[in-house]
Structure formats: structure tokens, C-alpha cells
Structure 1
Amino acid sequence: MKIDLSGKTALVTGSTSGIGHAIAKGLASAGAAVVINGRTQSKVDAAVAAITKAAPGTKVRGIAADVSTAAGCQTLVETLPDVDVLINNVGIFEPKGFFDIPDEDWVRLFDVNVMSGIRLSRAYMQGMLKRNWGRIVFIASESALLIPKEMIHYGVTKTAQLSVSRGLAELTRGTAVTVNSVMPGPTMTDGVETFVAELGRQNGQSPAEAASLFIKQHRAGSIIQRFASVEEIANMVVYVSSKEASATNGAALRVEGGLIPTIA
């Protein structure tokens, strides 16, 4: 199967690093004209340069906008009025005990993780329906189903993404537009790599040993017993963004290494 997204424009929010950056690179390599998004122009420019260098000949540009705010979403939409593929990837998390989470933190995580995708989907989905083709993908998490007790507010936002995604999919009935969620599990992003390396340094272990021990101790239910790479997550997203995934709609797709102990 050869995925060809030539002629399609894809927007990936929060794509200056991590999973979002890998998704942007994957979509660009499949032929899409990709728009990188981040809050600062310098990081956006660096991300565009990195993909252009790694995948010469790809079509990549960037728009700096803070999509956690209504004004930031408006700026983005005014600069980029139409897209064929919308990847609602931007997200933040913070470990914090439930009784220590103030209202402000609940609102902040909800604005970043949920409202950004709601606002951008509202702006772009009607155009997709008129053109009778489009893809919207929410990057959720296994935490949507396995709510982490150390960051309940994060888990709630990821569950909300599944609900929004499924509800929007119902609005596509009989069209060639699809809306899906992808649920990564523990993933070796740049931030996680730094965290694991520091754990290893503290305990006299190599980064690989520290990563393996972390999974065994904190994600014992994982079947693959390792962190996924950002490219493994991106592969699923690129597929579900393609015409080949035309019969996948309203789904919550798991890329969590078998961590969720259910068959459905």
C-alpha cells in the first residue's frame, strides 16, 4: 500500500517537537503540503527547517499561533482558511494530586487539550463537508481510558477528546469526511528521553536500562514492554489521514502497546 496525500493540505497543531513533529514529517513524506504550528515563530521556523532537511522536496511551512486561545485559533484560521487534514495534536500534561489541582489548572488543560480541537474543527470541518473529503484526527492517549490517579485532569481531557471525535464523526454520515482519535501509550518523545536519561544517571543505569525498568514498574500492563517511538505513532496517524482509511470513522485507534487490557 502506497499512501499518497499529494494535493492535500494538512495542519498539525503543536508540531514543533515530539509526536506532532513526527506526524508532520510523515504527512509531508506522503506528499501533503504540511503546515507546522507552535506558539513561537522561532520554534516553528526550526521545525520547518528540520523537516525540510530530513525530507528534501517536501512542502512544509509554518504558522505561529497559540491555539489554546480563541484569538490564537482565529489567527491560524485567518492565515490558513482551508485544510484537508486537521490533526488536533497539541496537548499538555502535569502530574499533580487531585486535591492540589486548582480550577485554573483544570481550565488551562481543557483549553489546550480540548477547546483547541473544538475550535479548529468547527472552523475547518464545514469546508471539508462541502468539498466532500477531509480527515480530522484527535491525538488522545491511553489515559482517556486508564485515568491516571496522579493527573486526573489530564485523563479527563483525553476522555473528552474521544467524545468530541465520536460526536463529530456522526456529523459526517454519508460523506467522504472522517473523524477519528488515536490513542498513543508511553512514547519516547524528546522530553521523555531527557527524563529517562536523568533517571538512569541517578540510578547508575544506561538510558535503555532506565527506560526498560520504568515500563516494568509503572506500565507493567504493556504487552510490548517498551516505549513506542514517535514514528510508530505517526504511522497510524498518516494512515488514518489517507484515502486508504476511508472506512475508518468514529473510531478510537489504539497505539498503546497493549496497555489497555480489553479486546474492544
Structure 2
Amino acid sequence: MKIDLSGHRAIVTASTSGIGLAIAKGMLNAGADVVVNGRRPEVTEAAVADLKRLFPGSGVVGVSADLSSKDGVAHFIELAGDADILVNNVGMYERVEFFDITDEQWFRIFETNVMSAIRLARHYMPGMLAKNWGRVISIASESGVTTPRDRMHYGISKTALIALGRGLAETAKGTSVTSNSIVVGLTMTENVEREIEANAQKQGVTSLDLQRQAAAHHRPTQLLQRLATSEEVANMVVYIASHQASATTGAALRVEGGGISSIL
């Protein structure tokens, strides 16, 4: 299978590092033009420079904007231009017990994780529907399926994101516009990798040993028994963005190492 996204333009939010950056690289490798997004201009500019070096001649641009507010999304839309692939990757995460979560924390996490996706889809989907082709992909989490006790607001926001993915697919019924969510589990982003490598050296064990410990502690049902890589998540996203995935819509697709103990 050769995935070719030439002629398409993708927006990937929160894409200066981690899963978002891996998705941007995957899109560029498949021939798409990509809008990279970060909050700080210097970080966004550095990511764009690195991507231009890795993919010479590619159509990559950067737009710095904080998508956790209505004004921030409006600013992003003003600068980003059109797109027919939207990857809602921006999100925040924190561990707080339910009785300690304030109203402000609930609102902040929903503004960032859910409302950013809603606002961007509301803007970009009409253009996709007019063209009769487009992809909306939201990066969710296994926490949206197995609501965690110590970060319930995060888990519930990801449940909402999965529901949004299905609802947008229903809205696009009968068209060539698809909407799906990607259910991500324990993932080896750059920060996690640095932490694991440092702790592995201190303990005199391998990185894989520590990954297995982390998987056993945080998700004992996980079958992979290691952390997924950002590239493994990105591979699913690039496929779902492709023409080959035209019959997949309204789905919550797992890249979580089998940690959710159900068939469907």
C-alpha cells in the first residue's frame, strides 16, 4: 500500500513535539502540505525549520496560537488558511483526585481538549463537505474509555472527544468526508523517553525493562508490555487520513497496546 496525500493540506495542532510532530512528519512524508502549531513562536519556528531540513521542498508552515481559548482558535484560523485534513491533537493532562478538581480546572481542560476540536471542526468541515472530501481526526485516549480515578476530568474530556468524532461522522453521512478518533495509550514521547533513559541508567536496567514496569503499574491489562512510539500512533493517523481509509468513519481506533480488555 502506498499512501499518497499529495494535493492535500493538513492541520496538525500541538505539533512541535511528541505525537503531533510525528504526525506532521508522517503527513509530509506522504506528500501533504502541513500546518504546524505550537503556543510559543520560537518553538514553532524551530520545529518548522527542522521539518524543512528533513523534507526539503515540502509545504510546511507554522502558526503559533494557544488553542485553549476561543480567541486563540480564531487567531489560528485567521493565519492557518484552508485545509482538508484536520488533526485535533492539542490537549492537556494533569493528575488530580476528583474531590480536588476545581470548576476552573474542569473548564480549562474542556476548553483545551474538547472545545478546540469543536471550534476547528466547525470552521473547517463545511469546506470539506463542499469539496466532498476531507478528514477530521481527533487524538483521544484510553482514559476516555476506562475513566481514571486520579484524572477524571481528563478522562471525561477524552470521552467527549470520542463522542465528537462519531457525531461529526454522522453529520457527514453520505459524503466522502470522514471523522474518526484515535484511542492512544502509553506512548514514548521525547520527554517520556528522556525520563525513562535517565532512570534506566540510574537503576542499571534497560529502557525496555522500565517500559515493562510502567506498563505493568499503569495499565496491567496492556498486552504490548512496552510503550508505543509516537511514530506508531502517527502511522495510524496517516492511514486514516488516506484515500485507502475511505470506508472507515465514526470509529474509535485503538493504538493502545491492547490495554482495553474488550473485543469492540
Q: Same fold judged by TM-score > 0.5?
A: yes
- Alignment deviations for residues 208-252 of structure 1 (CA, whole Å, 9 cap, x no partner): 322221112222111111100000000000000011110001000
Deviates more, 1:19-28 or 1:74-83: 74-83
Structure-1 residue corresponding to 2:69: 69
Structure-2 residue corresponding to 1:13: 13
Task: Tell whether the 8 Å contact from 1:133 to 1:177 is kept in structure 2 after alignment.
Answer: yes
Task: Tell whether the 8 Å contact from 2:82 to 2:124 is kept in structure 1 after alignment.
Answer: yes
Structure-1 residue corresponding to 2:161: 161
**TM-score w.r.t. structure 1 length?**
0.96
Deviates more, 1:141-150 or 1:14-23: 141-150
- Alignment deviations for residues 158-178 of structure 1 (CA, whole Å, 9 cap, x no partner): 000011111111011111100
In structure 1, what is the Cα distance between the partners aligned to 2:181 and 2:202? 37
- Could you tell me which amino acid in structure 2 is paired with residue 186 of structure 1? L
Structure-1 residue corresponding to 2:228: 228
Task: Tell whether the 8 Å contact from 2:16 to 2:36 is kept in structure 1 after alignment.
Answer: yes
Structure-1 residue corresponding to 2:92: 92
* Offset at residue 49 of structure 1 (A): 1.5
In structure 2, what is the Cα distance between the partners aligned to 1:28 and 1:175? 26
1:112-123 pair list within 5 angstroms: 112-123=112-123
In structure 2, what is the Cα distance between the partners aligned to 1:74 and 1:93? 23
In structure 1, what is the Cα distance between the partners aligned to 2:250 and 2:214? 33
Task: Tell whether the 8 Å contact from 1:29 to 1:58 is kept in structure 2 after alignment.
Answer: no
Task: Call closer, same or farther: CA 1:201–1:95 in 2, change over 3 Å.
Answer: farther
**TM-score w.r.t. structure 2 length?**
0.96
SS of the residue corresponding to residue 112 of structure 1 reads helix
In structure 1, what is the Cα distance between the partners aligned to 2:41 and 2:173? 38
Task: Tell whether the 8 Å contact from 2:91 to 2:113 is kept in structure 1 after alignment.
Answer: yes
CA RMSD of aligned residues (A): 1.3
- Alignment deviations for residues 42-71 of structure 1 (CA, whole Å, 9 cap, x no partner): 111111122222233322110011111111
In structure 2, what is the Cα distance between the partners aligned to 1:261 and 1:96? 25
In structure 2, what is the Cα distance between the partners aligned to 1:199 and 1:96? 24
Q: Percent same amino acid at aligned positions?
A: 51
* Offset at residue 258 of structure 1 (A): 0.6
1:130-145 pair list within 5 angstroms: 130-145=130-145
Q: How many residues align?
A: 264
2:185 is the counterpart of 1:185? yes
In structure 2, what is the Cα distance between the partners aligned to 1:81 and 1:34? 11
- Alignment deviations for residues 50-109 of structure 1 (CA, whole Å, 9 cap, x no partner): 222223332211001111111111111112332110000001101111111111111111
In structure 2, what is the Cα distance between the partners aligned to 1:52 and 1:42? 15
SS of the residue corresponding to residue 24 of structure 1 reads helix
1:1-264 pair list within 5 angstroms: 1-200=1-200, 203-264=203-264
In structure 1, what is the Cα distance between the partners aligned to 2:109 and 2:136? 21
Task: Tell whether the 8 Å contact from 2:211 to 2:225 is kept in structure 1 after alignment.
Answer: no
In structure 1, what is the Cα distance between the partners aligned to 2:23 and 2:131? 24
Task: Call closer, same or farther: CA 1:154–1:199 in 2, change over 3 Å.
Answer: farther
Runs of at least 5 residues in structure 1 that lack an aligned partner in the other structure: none
SS of the residue corresponding to residue 140 of structure 1 reads strand
Deviates more, 1:51-60 or 1:111-120: 51-60
